[in-house]
Amino acid sequence: MKANILAIESSCDDTSAAVIQDGNVLSNVTANQKVHEAYGGVVPELASRKHQINIIPVVDAALKKANIEASELNAVAFTKGPGLLGSLLVGVGFAKSFALGLGLPMIEVNHMHAHVLAHFAEDPKPAFPFLCLTVSGGHTQIVLVKDYLDLTVLGNSIDDAAGEAFDKTGKIIGLPYPAGPHIDKLAKEGEVKFSFSEPKVDGLDFSFSGLKTSILYFLQKQVKEDPTFIDKELANICASVQQSIITILMNKLKKASEMYGITEIAIAGGVSANSGLRTALAKTAQELGWNHYIPRFEYCTDNAAMIGVASYYKYLAEIFCNQSVKAEARMAF
């Protein structure tokens, strides 16, 4: 018999549902929330309200697209955390009621594990052990992946995440939220003209708050001398900021590869959609003989397919949770 899993993701501002059959993605439907754009960041209260509106239509659409009836499901998977508590509660509450109503087992999934395991949604798949740089709006991690259920964080951001560095810098220069994709686009039209110092952080940990501050001070100084500086230099500022973030990420990834002697290298999370980072990874991979893996855009940003794929390996290992499970905003890895 085939294993059909309905997966739910609602950790931040995307409401997503997917149907996974024997580890393969049959459908992956995501409703994005535009409501936050006007605020320059995700407003938690508005996000949970939108999830409530979107969750049933999104689940219906995922089941229809997969051509699977609710009665054909074998399990319900959901994001337990980390994320915004109000957002997570909508997904967890929905998954509990749905599973209870249909008498299905439930599988809790760690959102950051899922970003890594998104690599198993389709070919080519990395071979174990591999290193994954997970870069999103909330996290920056280097993860050692020895098996589907054996993941260890080797390095973390001690302050802002890489995505936040893009978004916060974007806000300073007047770009809409989330600024990452806008900086990516503008960077292509500019050149790396300005440099910002790389933070000194021990081991495989990251820091991005110093970079944000040095960009802010640099721009304040320039604007004082020429109020039109940001407008005139926008593309060059974007290219320079993007390059600084990429340099920080790539240097730590190279260090991790050297330390662990691993040349199977993957990137995951929303920031892995960045074209500059993708190019830098491909170039380094060629220079250093790495096999590198970058998920398709659909599987980089938040999506339920990655939750479903991650849950499939727990399903095989018969790791289920019960109805007393609760959402966790700060969930240990």
Half-sphere exposure of 50 (CA within 13 A, CB side): 20
Residue 9 found at the interface with ligand KG4 (CB under 6 A): no
How many CB atoms are located within 10 Å of the residue 83 CB? 27
167 contact choice in Zn ion, ligand KG4, none (CB below 5 to 8 Å, kind-dependent): ligand KG4
Number of residues that bind ligand KG4 (CB under 6 A): 19
Residue 138 found at the interface with ligand KG4 (CB under 6 A): yes
Residue 180 found at the interface with ligand KG4 (CB under 6 A): yes
Rounded CA separation 160/167 (Å) = 10
Of residues 4 and 136, the one with the C-beta less far from ligand KG4 = 136
Rounded CA separation 11/51 (Å) = 10
Of residues 63 and 84, the one with the C-beta less far from ligand KG4 = 84
Rounded CA separation 90/188 (Å) = 38
Rounded CA separation 214/17 (Å) = 40
Residue 190 found at the interface with ligand KG4 (CB under 6 A): no
178 DSSP assignment: S
Q: List Cβ neighbours of 296 (8 Å cut-off, separation of 6 or more).
A: 122
CB-based closest residue to ligand KG4: 270
Minimum distance, C-beta of residue 249 to ligand KG4, in the bound complex (Å)? 11
Residue 91 found at the interface with ligand KG4 (CB under 6 A): no
Residue 302 found at the interface with Zn ion (CB under 5 A): yes
Of residues 164 and 233, the one with the C-beta less far from ligand KG4 = 164
DSSP letters for 184-238:
HHHHTTS------PPP--STT-B--HHHHHHHHHHHHHHHHH-TTHHHHHHHHHH
Residue 86 found at the interface with ligand KG4 (CB under 6 A): no
Rounded CA separation 319/175 (Å) = 44
CB-based closest residue to Zn ion: 136
Residue 10 found at the interface with Zn ion (CB under 5 A): no
Query: Which of the ranges 161-169, 250-258, 288-296, 314-322 carries the binding residues for ligand KG4, by CB under 6 A?
Result: 161-169
Number of residues that bind Zn ion (CB under 5 A): 2
Residue 178 found at the interface with ligand KG4 (CB under 6 A): yes
Q: List Cβ neighbours of 166 (8 Å cut-off, separation of 6 or more).
A: 178, 179, 180, 183, 241, 242, 245, 271, 274
According to CB under 6 A, which residues from 264 to 323 bind ligand KG4?
A: 269-271, 273-274, 301-302
Helix, strand counts (H, E) of the chain? 10, 10
According to CB under 5 A, which residues from 127 to 146 bind Zn ion?
A: 136
81, containing H or E segment = strand 75-81
Site residues for ligand KG4 per CB under 6 A: 12, 136-138, 163, 166-167, 178-181, 184, 269-271, 273-274, 301-302
Site residues for Zn ion per CB under 5 A: 136, 302
